Amino acid sequence: MEIKRVGVVGCGTMGAGITQVCAQAGYQVVVLEINNELLNKGLASINSFLSKGVDKGKLSQQDKESTLSRIKGTTSTKDFSDCDLVIEAAVENMDLKKKIFAEVDKICPKHAILATNTSCLSIVDMAMVTNRPDKVLGLHFWNPAPLMKLLEVVKTVATSDETLETGKSFGESLGKTIIVAPDIPGFIVNRLQIPFRLDAIRMLEAGIATKEDIDAGVTLGLGHPMGQFALQDLVGLDVTYAVANALYEETKDPKFAPPTLMKKMIAAGWLGRKTGKGFYEYNK
């Protein structure tokens, strides 16, 4: 199946990034938000990201304008009626995601594929509220979506081989490297990354090392582009907590249990870059 028109549910950090990536790859994109204020904020972030690319000489002004011309913002799911693929990028709440999938399923054409950007929740549970579980899969992008090269394509027990192949081809058309993951908690990368991230917090909590030394060890010793605490602040403590907690509830494996320090920081509103303070402090 050929994909020409893409719908994106949510224009927050991930939704805006996914929208931009798809539009830059030449797709017509419809992006949905619950109100005009959030929609305009998301569209402004896309414009800002592209403008920085122009300033740095990474793309031309014409490329920026062409990308923006392929993006349509909306507050109505009815605008998904002619989409070939819809990618849900709402917050990590199963009830909300099921509601979105059930609604979009009624509006999209029968051939359309429905995907979720969830990083931890059961995709087959979302699929079963639709009349097309064979056409539902995971397309897990990484933050920031325009820069990160990986795409986890997640196959549920109900996903057809045709849907999987279409999802893989779509991801490749975006310039992403594809890995295929099973529909299990954390898929591949977060199943590795979340315990690593939580262990770094536990080391700090236990007074084994400072956050600066742990981050230096990760970047200079392991060759990672960012330290675990810098990465944590970028992602948001609340986001990692939600993923870790979902993994723990599903598996009951203590390695996924969020540390006490993390819970206290979230209670204090220290979520990372987006609040100006996390493990490090930032200018808002």
Contacts of 247-250 with CB under 8 Å at 24 or more apart are 247/120, 247/185, 247/186, 247/190, 247/191, 247/194, 250/122, 250/185
Q: Is the pTM for the entire model greater than 0.85?
A: yes
Q: SS3 for 2?
A: coil
Do 10 and 92 reside in the same domain of the chain? yes
Residue 27 lies in a domain: yes
Per the annotation, the verdict on 152 as an active-site residue is: yes
Q: What is the pLDDT of residues 2-11, one digit of tens each?
A: 999 999 999 9
Do 263 and 198 reside in the same domain of the chain? yes
Do 161 and 197 reside in the same domain of the chain? no
Q: Which residues contact 168 (CB under 8 A, 6 or more apart)?
A: 153, 178, 180
Mean predicted lDDT score pLDDT of the chain: 96
Q: What is the pLDDT of residues 185-231, one digit of tens each?
A: 889 999 999 999 999 999 999 999 999 999 999 999 999 999 999 99
Do 193 and 120 reside in the same domain of the chain? no
Do 172 and 196 reside in the same domain of the chain? no
Residue 267 lies in a domain: yes
Q: What are the helix (H) ranges across the chain?
A: 13-24, 36-55, 61-69, 94-107, 123-127, 161-173, 189-205, 211-216, 228-235, 237-251, 260-267
Domain stops at, among 182, 211, 230: 182
| pLDDT in the model for residue 185 | 86
| pLDDT in the model for residue 123 | 97
Q: Which of 33, 88, 117, 140 is catalytic?
A: 140
Residue 128 lies in a domain: yes
Per the annotation, the verdict on 119 as an active-site residue is: yes
Residue 282 lies in a domain: no
Question: For residue 278, with 0-12 CB atoms within 10 Å meaning exposed, 13-18 middle and 19 or more buried, which class applies?
Answer: buried
Per the annotation, the verdict on 111 as an active-site residue is: no
| pLDDT in the model for residue 284 | 58
| pLDDT in the model for residue 283 | 81
What residues pair up with 86 in beta bridges, in sequence order? 7, 114
| pLDDT in the model for residue 143 | 86
Do 143 and 22 reside in the same domain of the chain? yes
Percent of the chain with pLDDT over 90: 92
Do 22 and 112 reside in the same domain of the chain? yes
Residue 280 lies in a domain: no
Average pLDDT on 14-40 reads 97
Do 175 and 36 reside in the same domain of the chain? yes
Do 232 and 115 reside in the same domain of the chain? no
Do 124 and 248 reside in the same domain of the chain? no
| pLDDT in the model for residue 161 | 98
Percent of the chain with pLDDT over 70: 100
CATH of the domain at 137: 3.40.50.720
Do 130 and 223 reside in the same domain of the chain? no
Residue 281 lies in a domain: no
Domain stops at, among 155, 182, 209: 182
Task: Kindly write down the DSSP assignment for every residue of 112-132, as one continuous string.
Answer: -EEEE--SSS-HHHHHTTSS-
Q: Which of 88, 119, 165, 281 is catalytic?
A: 119
| pLDDT in the model for residue 250 | 86
Domain stops at, among 154, 182, 210: 182
Q: Which of 162, 190, 250, 281 is catalytic?
A: 190
Average pLDDT on 82-104 reads 96
* 235 vs 116, higher pLDDT: 116
**pLDDT category, 92, cuts 50, 70, 90?**
confident
Per the annotation, the verdict on 76 as an active-site residue is: no
Q: Which of 35, 152, 205, 212 is catalytic?
A: 152
Query: Structural domain of residue 90, as residue ranges?
Result: 5-182
Residue 200 lies in a domain: yes
Do 134 and 206 reside in the same domain of the chain? no
Question: For residue 53, is pLDDT > 70?
Answer: yes
CATH of the domain at 219: 1.10.1040.10
Total number of domains in the chain: 2
